[in-house]
Structure 1
Amino acid sequence: MSLNRSVLASVEDEEDQSSSSPPTSSIDSETYLVGFIIANIVGLQYYSGRISGREMVGLVREPLNRFDPNAIKVLNTRTVQVGHIEKKVSGVLAPLIDSNLVHVEAIVPKNPKNTFRFKIPCHIHIFANIGSFESVKSAFLRSGLCLLSDNDPLFGTSESMVVKDKKKTDLDAIFKLVDQNLSQNAVNGEIEPPKDLILTDLFGHQKQGLYWLYHRENSKELPPFWVENNAGFLNVLTNYESNERPDPICGGIFADDMGLGKTLTLLSLIAIDKCNVSTDGKCEVIDLDNEHPVIMSRKRSRNGSKKQKTEECQGHVGPKMTLVVCPPSVFSTWITQLTEHTKRGKLKAYMYYGERTQDVAELQKYDIVLTTYSTLGSELDSSTDPIKKIDWWRVILDEAHIIKNHRAKQSIAVSKLNAKNRWVVTGTPIQNGSMDLFSLMAFLRFHPFSTKSYWDTLVQRPIAQGNVNGLSRLQALMATISLRRTKEKALIGLPPKTIHTCHVELSVEERKLYDEMETEAKNFVAKYIAKGSVMNNYSTILSIILRLRQICTHTELVPPDVRASLLSYNFEDASNKPGLLKKLIFLLQDSEDLDCPICLSPPSKIIITSCAHIFCENCIIRAMKCSISACPLCRSRLTESDLFSPPPEYAPEVDKSSCKPSSKAAALLKLLEASRTENPSTKSVVFSQFRKLLLLLEQPLKEAGFKTLRLDGAMSAKKRAQVIEEFGVSGGGGPTVLLASLKASGTGINLTAASRVYLMEPWWNPAVEEQAMDRVHRIGQKDAVKVVKMIANESIDERILSLQEKKQKLAKEAFCNKGKDEKREINLADLRTLLSL
């Protein structure tokens, strides 16, 4: 392997530093049909797209149209433009779409041959959340457009209802057929990697994966949901007909579980490009000076004979170059895999990052070009960067879940890349919900699912509203274009992984701060729900929820101004109670060894009760919360107004040393000490999404005798690689605890030196946690892995766990054949659950 190492040294951090909040598009996302309008598609003479009959069409806003900023273009199933929605309609719809008040779906109601030459009528269905119905209806009323709603006699003519009623049985039959034929897409063979290039023996599941990858790239099969009939080719979902055979999908979703060696499998696929190969693994290195190398494969026909087949590079792809797009933390993984598993000099790699060449000819000297999502996003509007000028043989999106936001620049940039073969590589293709898959479809150019309006109609809306058809389509889709094996099924002999939950009781101070913040959150959300304005105040709600999550982990994470406003009890000074003050003075003077009757230690932050007993502030408040609010000594009835603080001259000195560990931190210390007692050489990784917590943990761990390292998003990729290398060194005296950022460490790194994982707080989507766990539980791990989740009792932590279970269920069902009629997105009901409303 050769690599421009000067570029490697300049790699800086660009990790996604997302806020600790749920997806902003998910709350209150359920929308319903307001009604439909009949509009014309105009300008047909200017575009090549055609409508063949009753057919769904895609509507796409075109705000940069130089003739009309309200333009809405119309695409057919093949995503070829047919025309535009007429101006009088788009002028009303565009502002509603741009403000996210509505989204739209459209269908041409009948065979358009009998219509006017340059326009076609279509039904545009308008969807909005219930709270926006009246404002949407008013917008159409003011414009003079006729919106046919459910109280209109003509509402029953909605073509969407007709299609639903007439096509339901047919679609169910199609999906049943797809399920019956899933074996056609199963991995039923193996390919050995070229031994002249790949030094390492692959596991069986990797050879099978290589077989699937290779044959997906050379497939001539019809894309999913297309059938051949007497008239040509028909898309059974959209009713689009064509005389031309649709292009096969060369690529797909490589979704093997994390830690199963996907990178080495992909390197083996790239190595095949340099060889004449057959399924028996024999390889002859191709002359690299040949700009159009040929892949030769022997494929068995049905009668068992061998058939010679030649696949030549199509179009102007040129040399079989592979572009790998990944987070910067994954650079080290690709470089390490190239160094360890390939013969030196056989595969050349270039890092297109930082200071980089703008010369296409220079890039074409390399087999692999590595770049990052952020680099492509930053060059989205540039017309000079060489990445866009190359017709890549293959583009691989590693850790592809990063582009789940289809509106982000980096997502748009990767979708515009030119490539013959397109691969989405991620162990977690679904993190928050089914919408995560849309941007993957856009990159794969899987029509019609790559157009958002089609995706909404066929998948997103049915799933959000609990319609089993949406999940069925998603399952059929994933079954035909994706490969996913879990560790349990891969049979690679990994040691077991067990997940435990450590329930932590918050201290009195933490509980008080938490309860007050949760009360404030409930009041806010209840008020916004009543007004129907949750989304308008979304950032305020998320800010309060974030504070709740921080309190559960460490109160020092909460900004000082928030703590100051909520933390103090403001107990009445005992100076105003002469009789009580006299008793307090007597007790303090008479008892030099005075202890709190609850904790049996000298009282911290003295509190004297109205019944003249002295306690620690934390102890008496905890006792009152856990009992019937009575004095633990004399059983007198107590309320907060019966507790008094001593005057300053009688108050003992308060410890002003650095902040004490939180309840979770104290519990973590006990777990780490127990693990050290059991085996002093055991290494542990402590994950948190809050960088400040990692800093707060360093001192107490040091005082407890642990040698620690820290890995977070503020470090450069080079520094992170050094930390990982140092942590991996075995032997006594080395670091045994790695304090790691959940987001910065969740992708592309190998932490198999550790066998213990501690998650300090639950993350919104369980996929991020799984990525972190599987940095430890992956190929190369020799010991059983124990994962511990730190969960604060009676808090938002526990409720997040219940949301995680729903998301995990959706992710699993996307790859199986059965689903249930229930809603699977985070919605308003989930927000109520989070806050116990």
Structure 2
Amino acid sequence: MSLEDDDQSQSQSSQDSETYMVGFIIANIVGLQYYSGRISGREMVGLVREPLNQYDPNAIKVVNTRTHQVGHIEKKVASVLAPLIDSNFIHVEGIVPKQPNKGVRYKIPCHVHVFAKIDNFEVVKFAFLDNGLCLFVENSVMFSGSEANVVKERKKTDLDEVFKLVDQNLSQSVVGEIEPPKDLILADLFTHQKQGLYWLYRRENSDELPPFWVENDNGFVNVLTRYESDKRPDPLRGGIFADDMGLGKTLTLLSLIALDKCKVSDDGKCEVMEAENEESVMKSRKRSRKGSKKEKTEECTGRVGSKMTLVVCPPSVFSTWITQLTEHTKRGKLKAYMYYGDRTQDVFELQKYDIVLTTYSTLGSGLGSSTDPIKKIDWWRVILDEAHIIKNHRAKQSNAVNKLNARNRWVVTGTPIQNGSMDLFSLMAFLRFDPFSTKSYWDSLVQRPIAQGNANGLSRLQTLMATLSLRRTKEKAEIGLPPKTIHTCHVELSVDERKLYDEMETEAKNFVAKYIAKGSVTNNYSTVLSIILRLRQICTHTELVPSDVRSSLLSYNFEDASNKPELLKKLVLLLQDSEDIDCPICLSPPSKIIITSCAHIFCESCIIRAIKSSISACPLCRRGLTESDLYSPPPEYAPEVDKSGCKPSSKASALLKLIEASRTENPSVKSVVFSQFRKLLLLLEQPLKEAGFKTLRLDGAMNAKKRADVIKEFGESGAEGPTVLLASLKASGTGINLTTASTVYLMEPWWNPAVEEQAMDRVHRIGQNKAVKVVKMIAKDSIDERVLLLQEKKQKLAKEAFHNKGKDEKREIDLADLRTLMSL
């Protein structure tokens, strides 16, 4: 969660919708003689930062529509642009205004359009002025006659129709079915899965021109960038498989992998290859290994014929793939290897397997390694499961998956948009759909026009998603899934809870009102964050609130915490209390948490990159920072819980009554209780045990094997088996199957309704044969009810983006939302 416009401008996901053109500069593209990329006419070009360039850390390379490098922006200009780009103060787009002269060999003039948040206009202008660069702004003579007029701001437009063509295209793109080979796949697929398999297979074997390319008398031309080529552009093999959560995407993908061993006829029938055909494939694999002695031991390239599939997923999803393989495929027909933990470094060992499973973090950790065998294989297919994890295109794991070599590339996620349409750029980068895989092209062709209401941007995004994605919801799939009903249980707080809540809310209102009046909400970001969190905790269980902060909110003033290590430590404990805090720069859960002296929370890599720019300031409050102002948190905090003398909270008591009533109605019913607070799960264990329930716990402190064991044990039937699973969102929000349960309890509301949907869909998915009941536990007359109002607002804005996100939706909470939360 982040607050106010200043911090929103620093988040990569929201930056583009809030920036405007400052002006443009004229810079030369140099070094043309060293690169093969060419510009054929008046053409848009991609500007890509190269911070690791060995000759110039400020390097900005220039690429054409096919992502072939043309040259670099001249050094003088790059030295000014690069620090501003790296600190997220600006982003840039380029266009070559006219066709280069035939005799040009060394340089081409380029218009570089500069965009920034309005508040940063003056800083940006001074940066150019101080470095002797001429910035042409809108009121200058040069501006009106330049390409800048094409991209200046336009009126706003609603985005409710962004993904309209996806549904319209569904009937056209899915016109057949494929039955998976019975010799390999044991399960009977639903109709929607067989249709999905047809679509996946067709995408991998398509020879169609990519969107926005047309053939003419001179060859081929991209109608968006005006790039011309006499060579036919490669077809897009792969796409976005975005079926709703719980519709059996994993089994459909396993069926696709099984087709690698088959011949598929035009009418959709598949025949498993005979032994001699398989033998020929093995011979092909051996041929691919031929070469020098060094190549045999160190390299394995040109292996497209081997049809190996790499699956990248979170550790929690391993169990899903292994279970599906075990239960739905013929033993020994599809061989899988887990490239995780203690793993082989032998390329030829991996070649023995049809499927290699690995994690995003494993790939990210090996990003700089040249010996990683994963990189030495030309995969037939790479599947990114739960692919929304790479929404931050700057993260290590995003860079790692983008570098993988593959013929077919698949993005698989039920929530392809988490924060807004900018999330789709990281998916395009992985899919290598040129030119949209280059950020400056994405900004100029899609993101900026959408943000400014240009119908062309909307139309382009619609065309992209209609061509590249398949999305079916549970309602439209007609799979006979039992109904899901959602109920709200309003809980009256006890006298003591109400007294504590009212006292803290009164003080909280005073604090927040003061910050709003002074315009200093961002400067006091951590204080506001802690206030809201503590109010939410009281609604759930007063034991979640540390005893030394109950009496007053004064200790929450984290401002100027440089010389107050006890306050920094308290902030760390606050972080560890909650699961829904994100780094304001990358909008992802912080990795290697860093706390600044101004008491703001970031990923280590994000904040170090920010302060190493020429403008060394906190991205939230603009306070000057150096590396000495950054603090690492103490070791992982594990809450000590005295379960014996702890009185159940009002919510816990209400939960107990509901679960007991459910048991009376059906003794075999199983329930899942979700909470973002691990300490609450510990507090609930004792009263449930005393009431005669056998419970299991699934939380973020467990490794992947322990989580899999818990899920397996919970799935066991019998009178003596566990009936209640206490689950944290962090450990069980995605990728696991809990269909043995039929009742879900949400102990507190989450900001993002899509997160709640993910939790519910662990239970309401294919394999569920009972009606599912979801109960939201909401404290009356409290911040809980106001969070529900925010959820409704988000859901109304969410219709256009696969029914998950809205036109300008971000994960952050703005000032209007803050007033709603605090009832101001």
Give TM-score scaled by structure 1 length. Answer: 0.78
Evaluate the alpha carbon distance shift between residue 324 and residue 268 of structure 1 in structure 2; reply closer, same or farther with a 3 A threshold: same
1:353 is aligned, of 324, 330, 340, to 340
Once the two structures are superposed, residues 267-310 of structure 1 have per-residue CA deviations (whole angstroms, 9 ceiling, x without a partner) of: 1111111122321233334543333799xxxxxxxxxxxxxxxx
- 2:764 aligned partner: 777
* CA deviation after TM superposition for structure 1 residue 361, in Å: 0.5
Work out whether 1:126 is the aligned partner of 2:91: no
Deviations 1:420-473 (A, max 9, x none): 001111111112222222211111111122112222223333444555544433
Per-residue displacement from partner, 1:379-429 (whole Å, max 9, x unpaired)? 111110100000000011111112122222111111111100011111111
* Higher alpha-carbon deviation: 84-93 or 663-672: 663-672
Matched residues in 2 for 1:157 and 1:128: separation?
A: 22
Q: Which moved more, 1:216-225 or 1:765-774?
A: 765-774
- Across the aligned residues of Structure 1 and Structure 2, the Cα RMSD in angstroms comes to 3.5
For 2:103 and 2:510, locate their aligned partners in 1 and report how far apart those are by CA, in whole Å.
Answer: 57
Matched, 1:449 2:436: yes
The answer to whether structure 1 residue 289 and structure 2 residue 279 are counterparts is yes
- Quick one: which amino acid aligns to residue 120 of structure 1? I
Q: Deviations over 1:218-273 (max 9, x none)?
A: 01111122222233222223232222221111111111111111111111111111
Name 2:349's counterpart in structure 1. 362
Distance in 2 (CA, whole Å) between partners of 1:825 and 1:472 is: 25
How has the CA–CA distance of structure 1 residues 744 and 228 changed in structure 2, closer, same or farther, with 3 Å as cutoff? Answer: same
**Partners of 2:500 and 2:218 in 1: how far apart?**
70
Q: Deviations over 1:701-725 (max 9, x none)?
A: 2233322111112122222222222
The letter of the residue matching 2:315 is P
Q: 1:148 aligns with which of 136, 147, 153?
A: 136
Other-structure match for 2:93: 105
Going from structure 1 to structure 2, the CA distance change for 1:506 and 1:121 (only over 3 Å counts) comes to farther
Matches within 5 A, 1:80-229: 80-113=68-101, 116-162=104-150, 182=169, 186-229=173-216
Distance 1:662 1:201 in 2: 47
Equivalent residues of 1:432, 1:765 under 8 A apart: no
**CA offsets per residue over residues 545-573 of structure 1, 9 Å max, x none?**
433433332232233433243499xxxxx
Q: Pairwise mapping of residues 223-622 of structure 1 onto structure 2 (< 5 A)? A: 223-278=210-265, 279-286=268-275, 287-291=277-281, 315-465=302-452, 467-507=454-494, 509-511=496-498, 513-514=500-501, 538-566=525-553
Letter in 2 for 1:47: Y
CA distance in 1, matches of 2:388, 2:163: 29
**Secondary structure at the counterpart of residue 813 of structure 1:** coil
What's the offset of the Cα at 1:354? Answer: 1.0
Assess, with a 3 A threshold, how the Cα gap between structure 1 residues 531 and 177 changes in structure 2: closer, same or farther: closer
Alpha-carbon offset, residue 114 of structure 1: 6.9
Residues 560 and 501 of structure 1: is their aligned pair in 2 closer, same or farther, counting only changes over 3 Å? same
Query: Secondary structure of 1:270's match?
Result: helix
Give the secondary-structure state (helix, strand or coil) at the position aligned to 1:738: strand
Distance in 1 (alpha carbons) for counterparts of 2:103 and 2:517: 48
Aligned-partner Cα distance in 2 for 1:33–1:519: 43
Change (3 A) 1:406 1:552: farther
Deviation readout 1:521-547 (Å, 9 max, x if unpaired) = 666666666777766655554444433
Secondary structure of the 1:412 match is: helix
Match of 1:58 in 2: 46
- Paired amino acid for 1:80: H
Distance 1:516 1:244, change over 3 A: farther
Larger radius of gyration: 1
Q: Is the 8 A contact 2:670 2:741 kept in 1?
A: yes
* 1:768 partner amino acid: V
Q: Deviations over 1:645-670 (max 9, x none)?
A: xxxxxxxxxx9972322332233223
The 8 Å contact of residues 681 and 727 in structure 2, kept in 1 or not, is answered as: yes
Matched, 1:828 2:814: yes
Match of 1:40 among 28, 39, 43: 28
> SS of 2:659's equivalent?
helix
Q: 1:798 to 1:122 in 2, by over 3 A?
A: farther
CA apart distance, 1:184: 8.0
**Partner secondary structure for residue 198 of structure 1:** coil
Partner in structure 1 of residue 750 of structure 2: 763
Per-residue deviation at 1:671? 2.1
Distance 1:768 1:530 in 2: 33
Alignment equivalent of 1:733, drawn from 698, 720, 735: 720
More displaced, 188-197 or 534-543?
A: 534-543
Report what 2:710 is aligned to: 723
SS at match of 2:304: coil
CA contact (8 A) 2:379 2:405 kept: yes
Match of 1:743 among 730, 749, 754: 730
The letter of the residue matching 1:357 is T
Q: Is the 8 A contact 1:684 1:736 kept in 2?
A: yes
Q: Indicate the SS of the match to 2:730.
A: coil
**In structure 1, the residue corresponding to 2:306 is in which secondary structure?**
coil
1:675-754, aligned counterparts within 5 Å?
Answer: 675-754=662-741
C-alpha displacement at 1:681, in angstroms?
A: 2.0
Q: Residue 814 of structure 2 aligns to which amino acid in structure 1? A: L
Does structure 1 retain, via aligned residues, the 8 Å contact 2:752–2:811?
no
Question: Residues 825, 200 of structure 1: CA spacing in aligned structure 2 closer, same or farther, 3 A cutoff?
Answer: closer
Change (3 A) 1:373 1:791: same
Alpha carbons of structure 1 residues 660 and 436: separation in structure 2 relative to 1, 3 Å = farther
For residue 123 of structure 1, report the CA deviation from its aligned partner.
Answer: 1.9
CA distance in 2, matches of 1:355, 1:821: 44
Amino acid at match of 2:72: H
Query: Which segment is superposed worse, 655-664 or 381-390?
Result: 655-664
For residues 499 and 540 of structure 1, what CA distance do their matches in structure 2 show?
A: 34
Does the C-alpha gap of structure 1 residues 556 and 58 become closer, same or farther in structure 2, counting only changes over 3 Å?
farther
Deviation for aligned residue 1:357? 0.6
Deviations 1:663-709 (A, max 9, x none): 32233223222322322222110111221111111112223332211
CA contact (8 A) 1:20 1:546 kept: no
Find the residue that maps to 2:279 and give its secondary structure: coil
Whether the aligned pair in 2 keeps the contact of 1:743 and 1:768 (CA below 8 Å) is no
- C-alpha change, 1:260 and 1:121, in structure 2 (3 Å) is same
Residues 770 and 246 of structure 1: CA distance in aligned 2, closer, same or farther (over 3 Å) = same
- Residue 337 of structure 1: CA displacement? 1.1
Relative to structure 1, the CA distance from residue 806 to residue 77 in structure 2 (aligned partners, 3 Å threshold; closer, same or farther) is farther
8 Å CA contact 2:315, 2:704 repeated in 1: yes
Paired with 1:234 and 1:178, the residues of 2 have a C-alpha distance of 24
User: 1:209 & 1:471 partners in 2: Cα distance?
Assistant: 26
State the SS of the aligned residue for 2:226. coil
- After alignment, is 65-74 or 537-546 more displaced? 537-546
Q: Within the alignment, does 1:791 sit opposite 2:778 as a pair?
A: yes
